[in-house]
Structure 1
């Protein structure tokens, strides 16, 4: 056979690779890793897409340039005068900033501790920061301007800004191999904070040795080479983002692309474009994001077959169990988008790992389309090189379980952490003889392959986020009808469920055979559910009442969650569940009204489709929002109702005003008989009517609409009524307000009509804040008590801002608020759009708007045009506004402003509200930006903060 010709370049490359792999020593420290990467692959790249990127532009640095950058930063750090080995808390948001900070700390001889996003709740944030300061015996923080603002109220911290450190580093140029301290393998390298879901965080200590042992084994498992391209969109403060998706590929010389998660969540097609354009081989995505991506990508069938996805070989997944059908659906979706489906053959590798194990240490790489998964959840597979696993009796922690039997999962190996920082008790209790680490998970090993079957730990993981069960139980214990100390909440994952859930077991204080048992049980279960939704955004899958004489406790007087779950799975609690369902059905039957008219039956069918119910389960007395409806669900109801009844328009606001099925049916019947009619203007839209506490009235922002409050109102279910003000002028025949005084008089009268006497609670979002302030003043002038006035991200002096808003900027501001254009585009588009006609400007924005968002909002160009005019009328009302007088007390909530720093926004713009409050004004930090703080992403945290301030005012 004739020899194959090989080019000189190929021969040289082969010899170089052979020599470096055989002759060069293996890295012993992380310092060696970056030095080796630069020496061997100086032109390989690190790429970054930030949270503020509005296109697919990638900022890149070669390994060589990055190395020079971080060594200069490290040299600049020495000016802090900290001793070698000092802990530096790194609190940054972007991947590149975090990465640079960590490497700079390492090269300067410091120990970086990665800090995840701090809580928006002031007390929790201060408690955590104080705990960290005590834990390390020091408090050196490296952060950005926003991070510095978040911790500015906490004394005793030494805060350094990354921007200032960069400025200092730009004046320096050290050698490419400069280090301030030559590390040793067993030196502390990086600290990671645990979630703190069951109390304050522990700091996990990883050394150079443990990290390198993990990274070598991971890279071998993934099949990484210097030619690999890796994509990561997990936060760098997570071990998966920093160790698994950065240091591991760097050890093997692989190029990397780090993308802020928001960039892909906002545009899931971007993931496919990046795989195509950058020939991505390895990526990471937890189960809940695989599920979300699959759902989002389904909407883009128009670009099926559009991308070259042949490069992707493996997607690692961790954080929570991976549902087999979710993995299959995602893989199948990827094939549909591929130009060459037969070339798409990649594995979704479910993995097990923890902060303590340097992320994943057990994997099961499986092509889910070629090999049918055996179980409902993907197996977790076999350990990486050097790692061992075993299943033991969870009681004694050492007796081995047989193949196929469940028990406590334990692991050991060189990738295990060495200790919890300054916490010897927690360290010793985490290990048993032989160096085995107790993971706290229940697993099964069968034929060498491991899968999890439950949890021992006191957490429930919802969409990858850990929530503390003890804290949840503490609040559930307060519900009337629950026997104190006889309640347990236990993690549970039902068949086919995409994320982990939980079950509540409790003993009722009342006799389940009593005459009024059904009424009391119904009220108790509703209260338990409401608390769960408020605290962890998810209702329980089951609530099981067990008579107190049948609820077993341990010899230590505790309820065993594991035992209760075991009884549940074995069907031994079936009689209690059946009795509860019987009583609840009886209670529901009292209020159940079968839909009778054709309109009611048609709406019942639509309700059933939206909420995945049987039509027989839908009552004519059902309230759309009380049974789970969101603002998006309301738009779907509107759309399906219009299609079924042949109506040109069913106003979303009328759905909000008629949320009960029978009432909505009557409204639709009136439209069918009379056509669209102008109703008398009522500024108040009731978004939630249940509960006995003082109602809350919310004033609209500058766009005049109230849909933005729908998701917030749900959290007040069964607690207090929630009313929202909607500006006048949306409906035909209703003129716009012409002055602030006219608007305030209208709203004050509407409050008195709805709630005759005080005390009152009123709040306003953005522009609505000054309106709420004026309404509160008017009510006090009428002799009423106003105990709560909440102002959300608005300063008292709005007139200067109002005068800056012309028609173009007002239209763009509204479009940004509605999600038609990004905030970045809204800022940039004003100058080039102003020379165009009004119609041309509208059409330009219309073409930029996401079609699905236009459908969601049921917008037309004409409606958008009128909406801009309405918003403009509200601006006109505020042109001459000059605050005066005062109210009893003010609650000011502040988020990231439209422009400038948060500190400047708080101190110079918002603090003047103190001059209009007779009592001490309160200023509370809330998550999100000005235009996103009411979004689904932030509203769960916002509602907790807001409700806590209501309660602090005695409401």
Structure 2
């Protein structure tokens, strides 16, 4: 008999496949070790917890908000709720911005009339400031469950029916606060049967999942569906793979994985990062992989092809790497994927720039209709609104009948909000009519973006619209902004300057809110921006005009005015070095060299930390200079300044030593209070380049760089010497407060001491930000020997993985220093060494600098206090995040006159400011600056 409820699914899995396994790799697992439980063991744990949940005596069908970051915690909590007759609602990571978090939690509380939360200590910490919640800890529940160890393997509190509510999923909330999609046992099982048939799941299948369990794809597509068919599963915290992409291949090899999932932006990251890992060529057996699902955003065909090519290169039997890449379409409302394409890119060429989405899973239907009436079918090959229906579609939005009613049309068709084309039975997306833009798989609300863009001076109120748009060859979705300017583009003499300022402000807001500037900003006369009878601008009409060239005249007029404005400040490069640099800048930023001014700033043009390394290398080759220290590019980012520095190199004696200045200005525009950031334990500041970009035109951004990188500069001999040097430099740069200072890792204690020094001199320090560092570091400093310091640096620079560092330390610590460096040097990817322009001698010197900072910290004992502290915490190098926060970081409470704020940020210790996480970190960091009145 086929299971008819989720309870039946779990019972069937134990009865038919008792020894099959659910395996997990947590964010804190040492060396990414795998922890496994048989279906029998997992079922016992879930039923013990369920029996303990029953002691709460909640009415059948009561809602429990389940809030964890690890797969196993979420999974066992969801099953325990279902067995106990409760309805779990999966809560994704809460916003670190206090106002948004409080608003969201209040919304959920009001929606459910009351809110019961099941979480861990870290989750409870985030919720402690919000009143009216009933919070239960998993640790307490596990303790209570010990009393029910003899629970029957089929115990349930009450039998469920197929149409009972089973699991609630929060929608993205991108257009306001989240809606809650209600899925019953019937809708979830309908989806699972159909998905299993589509994927070809069997009891011999092995699934690898690294999508969060709070997402329908992670919970239903990659767990319940495989469980229904008896497939073993491996669930990995995303941070494990993002911090070391080689783990993805290791796990496929080790577990003989045949089905996995990765959205387009992660396929791109995997391909990009793995392509550089020449040390991994021929290392893995990937022949088991037969299907790679992808969803969340359109899959770029070229990206998917590159991914397949890279996997072939890294496999030791490339001829056996042959798998289906399956781009899928689905939503929370459809239990994730409901339409899938299938193509073997090892043998087939895709037809279009994006992979086709193909056909619906069994039981699901799709159609494309006129978006204006939502009913009239489009002809084959014509674009229209995509609608779906079938037994896997959700039944309603919880306590929101209006949203439910507006989401369906006659016949039970669900309006997806996406535009599609169906041709010969195969579907592909052609755009979206929803109020969201998806950047690297994350949905951002267009109405919220428009609200902030409306505040820009130069924009006519209520005459601005933003529309999602993806240009040819673009890796992720972008957007276009249309607006009616308050000034006359034809007759206003100041139009060029006003347009430049308006567009600059629009770009700044967009970058801060959704991490990307608009692909195009189009000023349109108010008379041509028609509104509906409800007073709304039609985004779809404006976008259609833009794509079809109907707004080309306005685009050209804006380009002409912006070019005219630029010419008023344009300075023609006048020396050979300036002209050469202008050419190099143009090459990096895809500009015409004639467009590069002598006063252009490398970072204001968009330069990243990787671009800095590229510019250094190309300058040395093009201009015949043996060595341009990165620090000089950082301190001379303007074409003319860098040219003058390079010219000086030709006339300077080899023995000349430049005076040491610890402060590196990474961004100088903006009128708000400057931020000063202290380097981590490696002493360098390149890690801050990408972060500084987000503060352009808002506030200057300075970074402290350790002494000793340049020839003739001695290392710091003590913490006091370093603090004195930095405090004096800070006062020279900004003579008067209020001050804002932060420090990353090791730099946090330095920032704290600098803030203390400034306060002792009578200055006001309104913000002290400490990023993932406890106050007591001396024990840790004593633990780090030369080998450990060298391996930490190598990992930080991307020369080895975290697993390599942990494995090598006991093997190398007894060897000679030169031999240790040689081992790491041989393991490092040649491309990465070339990017950094490292030599063994430079690496050795860098290790010495890091070692000097360790020596400064060995005798450090924190004392005194400052007015206030903001402590940002991520996944630590060792141990759990909860222990890191509660046993280490909260010790900062002794050193702040006001209670410190503890702010959770995404990523791990070494990755929280990398490309993947810096966009989210800057939002959280900015919110704390603003909360402190800066």
Q: 1:51 and 1:760 mapped to 2: Cα distance?
A: 36
Matched, 1:293 2:257: no
1:323 and 1:378 in contact (8 A); partners too: yes
Q: 1:758 and 1:269 mapped to 2: Cα distance?
A: 47
Change (3 A) 1:86 1:878: same
Matched, 1:214 2:179: no
Change (3 A) 1:697 1:69: closer
- Equivalence for 1:539: 517
Matched, 1:328 2:305: yes
Matched, 1:947 2:907: no
Tell me which of 367, 378, 389 is aligned to 2:366: 389
- Secondary structure at the counterpart of residue 80 of structure 1: coil
Change (3 A) 1:787 1:144: closer
Tell me which of 471, 477, 489 is aligned to 2:448: 471
Q: Deviations over 1:580-612 (max 9, x none)?
A: 111111122233344444433443343334333
Deviation at 1:836, TM superposition (A): 5.5
Q: 2:294 and 2:718 mapped to 1: Cα distance?
A: 56
Deviation at 1:546, TM superposition (A): 1.1
- Equivalence for 1:422: 399
Matched residues, number: 931
Structure 2 matches for 1:519-598, cutoff 5 A? 519-598=497-576
Matched, 1:706 2:685: yes
Unaligned runs of 5+ in 1: 1-24
Q: 1:917 and 1:268 mapped to 2: Cα distance?
A: 39
Deviation at 1:916, TM superposition (A): 6.0
Q: Deviations over 1:119-158 (max 9, x none)?
A: 1222222222232233223333333333333333333433
Matched, 1:118 2:70: no
Q: 2:33 and 2:782 mapped to 1: Cα distance?
A: 35
Q: 1:908 and 1:43 mapped to 2: Cα distance?
A: 38
1:889 and 1:921 in contact (8 A); partners too: yes
Matched, 1:32 2:8: yes
- Secondary structure at the counterpart of residue 743 of structure 2: strand
Matched, 1:518 2:496: yes
Q: Deviations over 1:255-293 (max 9, x none)?
A: 333333333334434434444454433222212222222
Deviation at 1:337, TM superposition (A): 4.5
Q: Deviations over 1:553-578 (max 9, x none)?
A: 22222111111101111211011000
Change (3 A) 1:225 1:932: closer
What's the C-alpha RMSD, in Å, of the aligned pairs? 3.2
Tell me which of 652, 660, 673 is aligned to 2:630: 652
Change (3 A) 1:763 1:308: closer
Change (3 A) 1:779 1:410: same
Q: 2:254 and 2:302 mapped to 1: Cα distance?
A: 28
Tell me which of 10, 13, 17 is aligned to 1:41: 17
Q: 1:933 and 1:61 mapped to 2: Cα distance?
A: 31
- Equivalence for 2:591: 613
Deviation at 1:886, TM superposition (A): 5.8
Tell me which of 346, 350, 354 is aligned to 1:373: 350
Change (3 A) 1:155 1:853: farther
1:120 and 1:927 in contact (8 A); partners too: no
- Secondary structure at the counterpart of residue 544 of structure 2: helix
Change (3 A) 1:708 1:387: same
Q: 2:784 and 2:209 mapped to 1: Cα distance?
A: 40
- Equivalence for 1:255: 232
Matched, 1:441 2:402: no
Tell me which of 422, 428, 436 is aligned to 1:451: 428
Change (3 A) 1:326 1:261: same
Deviation at 1:414, TM superposition (A): 0.8
Q: 1:208 and 1:395 mapped to 2: Cα distance?
A: 34
1:380 and 1:449 in contact (8 A); partners too: yes
Deviation at 1:852, TM superposition (A): 5.4
Matched, 1:718 2:668: no
Matched, 1:173 2:173: no
Unaligned runs of 5+ in 2: none
Matched, 1:623 2:608: no
Tell me which of 354, 360, 364 is aligned to 2:341: 364
Deviation at 1:487, TM superposition (A): 1.0
1:634 and 1:652 in contact (8 A); partners too: yes
Q: Deviations over 1:779-800 (max 9, x none)?
A: 4555655444444445556566
Deviation at 1:30, TM superposition (A): 1.5
Q: Deviations over 1:12-35 (max 9, x none)?
A: xxxxxxxxxxxxx22111122222
- Secondary structure at the counterpart of residue 486 of structure 1: strand
Matched, 1:400 2:377: yes
Q: 2:11 and 2:164 mapped to 1: Cα distance?
A: 18
Q: Please say which of residues 549-558 and 649-658 is displaced more in the overlay.
A: 549-558
Deviation at 1:462, TM superposition (A): 0.6
Structure 2 matches for 1:793-812, cutoff 5 A? 793-794=772-773
Deviation at 1:529, TM superposition (A): 1.0
Matched, 1:76 2:45: no
2:64 and 2:116 in contact (8 A); partners too: yes
- Equivalence for 1:101: 77
- Equivalence for 1:87: 63
Change (3 A) 1:52 1:886: closer
Change (3 A) 1:73 1:883: closer
Deviation at 1:321, TM superposition (A): 1.2
Matched, 1:507 2:484: yes
Q: 1:74 and 1:542 mapped to 2: Cα distance?
A: 54
Q: Please say which of residues 41-50 and 26-35 is displaced more in the overlay.
A: 41-50
Tell me which of 195, 207, 213 is aligned to 1:236: 213
Q: Deviations over 1:400-442 (max 9, x none)?
A: 3333332222211111111112222221221222212111112
- Equivalence for 2:109: 133
Deviation at 1:774, TM superposition (A): 4.3
Q: Deviations over 1:157-213 (max 9, x none)?
A: 333333444455456033333322222111111111111111111221111111111
Q: Deviations over 1:344-375 (max 9, x none)?
A: 44332222111111111122223345444333
Q: Deviations over 1:522-563 (max 9, x none)?
A: 121111111111111111110001122332222222111111
1:787 and 1:888 in contact (8 A); partners too: yes
- Secondary structure at the counterpart of residue 483 of structure 1: strand
Change (3 A) 1:162 1:639: farther
- Secondary structure at the counterpart of residue 577 of structure 1: helix
